Amino acid sequence: MKLLTDYRKTSTVAQLARAIQCAATRPWTLMEICGGQTHSILKFGLDQMLPPGLTLVHGPGCPVCVTPAELIDKAIAIALQPRVIFCSFGDMLRVPGSKHSLLDAKASGADVRVVYSPLDAVKLARENPQREVVFFAVGFETTAPANAMAAWQASQDKLSNFSLLVAQMLVPPAMRQILSSPNCRVQGFLAPGHVCTVEGYVEYERLAASFHVPIVVTGFEPVDLLEGILMVVRQLESGRADVENQYVRVVRREGNPAARAVVQEVFEVSDRHWRGVGLIPSSGLRLREAYRHLDAELRFPAAVTPAPRSELCLVGLVLQGLMKPSECPAFGKSCTPDQPLGAPMVSSEGACSAYYLYGRG
Ligand code: SF4
């Protein structure tokens, strides 16, 4: 078994960078979907090892970034209700809604708590029967199994004081949306390895065939990422458009059947609004009828006025790979991690925060 250091080995990285330079005879534009991949690419300077014509643009795979401001406003309205304990992963707390963040709500007295697993929120509900415990179920296919498990467990335990505010997104419909745009400039994708660990990559085969676009399921370490880029470039150079799996040590074509089964049991596919992008059909999950009583939106019908869009934040263009963060006029000026105008500047997986952190402005 390889150690983590093997996936960061300087000699292997240099060898792969040379192989990419030899393989790329023309300019190509590739998109890595996941914000975790974006951060690795910038942190390890992989973007600076590529030949000049090979451009990486950054995709919508940052769950915090794509959660609509209206939903954060709703989360705040619920958190401010008496008796509510509002639980969330830490990275949602500083993300601005239309005016405020969950951290602001906490400062105003709301009982907002950071948890490390949705099952911690279930435990809190069990321990506090007199309180209403709400978990902010944000994420892509990767978080869906744990969130589904929390709903299942709460249902089994007949907990009447636990609910989920669901913001579950799906990657393939967002890729379809990007590819269907007349402005699309993406010619190949690095698909997110962790998402495919759960769901497999059959859906990606359909995308590759429909849009004649190469897709390589890729991991997160420097060697993974450069190998993934090399595989996409080789496909583009030879006119192929297949799905290949670079992340074979983790991903199977059919994904993880047990994880998929619990997601299927609890959630069903629904339309979802993506921040800065708008409504994408069938791009999310909602609780099935049998679990709808756990839906915090139904339990706390907080009236929230649709958030006015910030003219300054060009998050939609960044998330669809139509603009690099450093090309946003607000980047590093009116938008910084201390004073973010949009979620990608504050999220630990946001492309704008990666550009700021690793000095690509
Ligand atoms: S730099 Fe700031 S304002 Fe510009 S797109 Fe990113 S988050 Fe939005």
pLDDT tens digits, one per residue of 284-307? 999 999 999 999 999 998 766 666
162/265 same-domain check: yes
118/232 same-domain check: no
102/236 same-domain check: no
What percent of the chain stands above pLDDT 90?
89
By three-state DSSP, how is residue 247 classified?
Answer: coil
For residue 194, is it within any domain? no
Half-sphere exposure of 233 (CA within 13 A, CB side): 25
Ligand 1 atom nearest the C-alpha of 344 is 7
From ligand 1's centre to the CA of 361, what distance in Å?
A: 12
Residue nearest atom 1 in ligand 1 by C-alpha distance:
331
259/166 same-domain check: yes
For residue 322, is it within any domain? yes
From ligand 1's centre to the CA of 213, what distance in Å?
A: 28
From ligand 1's centre to the CA of 337, what distance in Å?
A: 10
218/323 same-domain check: no
8/142 same-domain check: no
- In this prediction, residue 303 carries a pLDDT of 67
Q: Is residue 96 in contact with ligand 1, taking CB distance under 6 Å?
A: no
The pair of three-digit structure tokens given for residue 121, joined into one six-digit string: 């929120």
For residue 198, is it within any domain? no
Total domain count for the chain? 3
For residue 218, is it within any domain? yes
The CATH number for 241's domain is 3.40.50.11750
Give the range of the structural domain holding residue 339, as residue numbers without chain letter.
315-357
Q: Which residue has the tokens 């603009």?
A: 323
Q: Is residue 344 in contact with ligand 1, taking CB distance under 6 Å?
A: yes
The CATH number for 94's domain is 3.40.50.11740
**Listed range (29-33, 193-197, 290-294, 302-306) with the worst mean pLDDT:** 302-306
Q: Is residue 341 in contact with ligand 1, taking CB distance under 6 Å?
A: yes
For residue 130, is it within any domain? yes
The pair of three-digit structure tokens given for residue 176, joined into one six-digit string: 């379809």
159/280 same-domain check: yes
148/289 same-domain check: yes
- In this prediction, residue 96 carries a pLDDT of 85
By three-state DSSP, how is residue 252 classified?
Answer: coil
Ligand 1 atom nearest the C-alpha of 345 is 7
**Kind of pairing, strands 278-287 and 267-274?**
antiparallel
Q: Is residue 62 in contact with ligand 1, taking CB distance under 6 Å?
A: no
For residue 350, is it within any domain? yes
Averaged confidence pLDDT in the chain: 95
What percent of the chain stands above pLDDT 70?
97
For residue 207, is it within any domain? yes
User: Could you report the per-residue pLDDT of 81-128, keeping only the tens digit for each?
Assistant: 999 999 999 989 988 888 889 999 999 999 999 999 999 999 999 999
**130 neighbors 147 (Cβ within 8 angstroms):** no
- In this prediction, residue 132 carries a pLDDT of 98
For residue 220, is it within any domain? yes
9/124 same-domain check: no
Q: Which residue has the tokens 């939609």?
A: 316
- In this prediction, residue 112 carries a pLDDT of 98
Residue nearest atom 3 in ligand 1 by C-alpha distance:
313
Alpha-carbon distance 309 to 183, whole Å?
22
**108 neighbors 99 (Cβ within 8 angstroms):** no
129/8 same-domain check: no
Work out the average pLDDT over 120-148: 97
Ligand 1 atom nearest the C-alpha of 318 is 5
14/150 same-domain check: no
Residue 15 has pLDDT above 90, yes or no: yes
54/79 same-domain check: no
